[in-house]
Structure 1
């Protein structure tokens, strides 16, 4: 019978030799000095042997335990070698099914069913672009904080190399958030034990938010002049003009459908939607919002109806189905020479100038669809001061047109 002292004393010889323990367990010593635990057994009249691991990585006590486990399988009439091969294959298949990509796709299907199609598409695109190439095939329980940090660094590098307006920190932080959501789902479903994103939560600082600002006089003149002579598509031009005239957000212009347009009453009406019916939400806040049409907006929408009247979206994507890409309008501003201007600056400009001209603050805030603290009041406020707001928006559209002078 072997003991620890004897095991340490075993030296290599010119030929392979074995030192026996008991019940078929022995240690094989090779001329190279490497040592392996072997289990010798008989099955169906044949003398067989299986390897249990290397010494000293596996000590005597663990080797005996492995021998006993193999012997228990042998007592059922099954070869422990074949049994181990089957279990190894099953474990490999299970590991493959628990890859980060597989768990992420399951998470999307089961946990994002009530999120907007745009959010789901953004989630998928981010994983496809930055995450799957790094850890998509890796078992989710083996994903480390170093993996997350590598993904965040690569995301920042990708964005900076493409000379985008942003430096990449926001996208990197968002990727960490998406990865964390998937891993916490894996923890909840017993396929991972810890969240490696927690350790790198403070590694990348979120850049200071640049708030929307009112356009300067020169910028306003360039905007209206160059947009009216814009050489791109009419749809993009009209979407840009509508942003200025209506005080809507970019996402609301992009999601606007013909169901929202009432040419008879000359209003654009976004209704509150039901999440239970998985309806598409248009407004940033889920509420009813009415935009009276100025003459300028009415004419733009009539023109758009001739262009896209047979499509779902008023300002539909040019070369594919669906709405305009979320970066299209900012790219348009860049093209006409206003790189430092964003579409959201239009709303800040309208708010600032209309307040300066003495229009009622409540009319302006309601037209901007800013949050009403009293939710009960907010649900009934959408139609308040409608005629006053109609006149204000017509005045505002005329003010915008006056910039070209």
Structure 2
């Protein structure tokens, strides 16, 4: 038997040589000076050798323990080398089937035809809430308890930010994403059940807070708040555009310069092409034309100097050319202005209420709000209807908003 002192004293020679310990264990000294543990054994009459690591990373005691474990496998009729290969293959299979690996494959294979915006939404949910909990877990081992943990953690995270609701909707979306990936895993024979089924109903969707018109005090607070807004000019211009146009926040965020025609003084939102995976620019994915008031024309001219070299009229302030404004940017800006209970959607309700009170034609208002026409054939051809009436209405509406200033 050898000792640590003996091993340390062994010197490299011109050729590889071995020094035996006991029961098949030996240390192999190579010409480069490295010292490797080897276990020599016979299985079914055939001589074999198993590597047990490098000295001194693997010490003498650990090498003897590894030798004894290999001997026990032999006693049980198992070839140590084949068992090592089996375990290595099993480890590789586990690594290939982690929830993160499968979800990345799911995004490539199943979401290729979805819009970039939707894929980004899924990826952000995975990165923020899901992968930190189950990303490294074998997909077949993901449990209902894991899903419930993610749901609760998501709700807590959203509530702590105090920006985007109470978290239930975000948690339900995360549950939906996990379920889709698990069902893909089942279809590709890497899992046997979907753990999201057991936790269905564990969270209730909060009551929808319908849009409501701004109060007189909120109208004044908004118009004066925009004037004194300390954030970026892009956000300030987006808020005013939101108010003047009666557009939805999604339409503000996805408005591109190619839709803006300064000569005709209109904004023309096109139909998104599904074949090109384009993001829809309006809620119902229909053509929507917005005539410009004088105020809106001036704002967009000013904004052009800010972002005219980018795709979006109101791009993300600190992101790349292809990134539109963040989904919560406008609502966050309103809260910072002191409008704690006002959302971007409330400006549409405000416009509808006030303009109806002033006896503007309901058809003009509904058309400008881009509410869907129940007659789909008619809706396909009347996107430019009431154009001059709506232009005059929006000019008067912009003047009304400016009158809110104190």
- Normalising by the residue count of structure 1, what TM-score does the alignment of the two structures yield? 0.80
Q: Distance in 2 between matches of 1:333 and 1:200?
A: 36
Matches within 5 A, 1:195-344: 195-321=194-320, 322-344=323-345
Runs (5+) with no aligned partner, structure 2: 1-41, 49-69
Q: Secondary structure at the match of 1:379?
A: helix
Aligned to 1:43: 45
Q: Secondary structure at the match of 2:405?
A: coil
Matches within 5 A, 1:154-173: 154-173=153-172
Aligned to 1:35: none
Runs (5+) with no aligned partner, structure 1: 1-39, 54-66, 71-78
Checking the alignment, whether the CA contact within 8 Å between 2:287 and 2:383 is kept in structure 1 is yes
Aligned to 1:373: 374
Q: CA deviation at 1:52?
A: 9.8
Aligned to 1:86: 85
Checking the alignment, whether the CA contact within 8 Å between 1:50 and 1:81 is kept in structure 2 is no
Q: CA deviation at 1:172?
A: 1.3
Aligned to 2:354: 353
Greater CA deviation, 162-171 or 233-242? 162-171
Q: Distance in 1 between matches of 2:304 and 2:135?
A: 44
Q: Distance in 1 between matches of 2:47 and 2:174?
A: 59
Is 1:178 the counterpart of 2:180? The answer is: no
Aligned to 2:392: 391
Q: CA deviation at 1:391?
A: 1.1
Checking the alignment, whether the CA contact within 8 Å between 2:288 and 2:383 is kept in structure 1 is yes
Greater CA deviation, 387-396 or 275-284? 275-284
Aligned to 1:28: none
Checking the alignment, whether the CA contact within 8 Å between 2:213 and 2:353 is kept in structure 1 is yes
Q: CA deviation at 1:207?
A: 1.0
Q: Distance in 2 between matches of 1:264 and 1:279?
A: 26
Q: CA RMSD in A?
A: 2.1
Q: Distance in 1 between matches of 2:301 and 2:341?
A: 31
Q: Distance in 1 between matches of 2:166 and 2:276?
A: 38
Q: Secondary structure at the match of 1:93?
A: helix
Q: Distance in 1 between matches of 2:393 and 2:247?
A: 14
Aligned to 1:364: 365
Aligned to 1:6: none
> In structure 2, do the counterparts of structure 1 residues 332 and 180 end up closer, same or farther at CA, with 3 Å as the change threshold?
same
Deviation sequence 1:147-195 (CA, Å, 0-9, x none): 1001111112222333445222221111111111110111111111111
Q: Distance in 1 between matches of 2:163 and 2:270?
A: 35
Q: Distance in 2 between matches of 1:45 and 1:92?
A: 27
> In structure 2, do the counterparts of structure 1 residues 44 and 316 end up closer, same or farther at CA, with 3 Å as the change threshold?
closer
- Normalising by the residue count of structure 2, what TM-score does the alignment of the two structures yield? 0.80
Q: Secondary structure at the match of 1:82?
A: helix
Deviation sequence 1:271-298 (CA, Å, 0-9, x none): 1121112233211221111000011101
Q: Secondary structure at the match of 1:290?
A: strand
Q: Name the count of aligned residue pairs.
A: 342
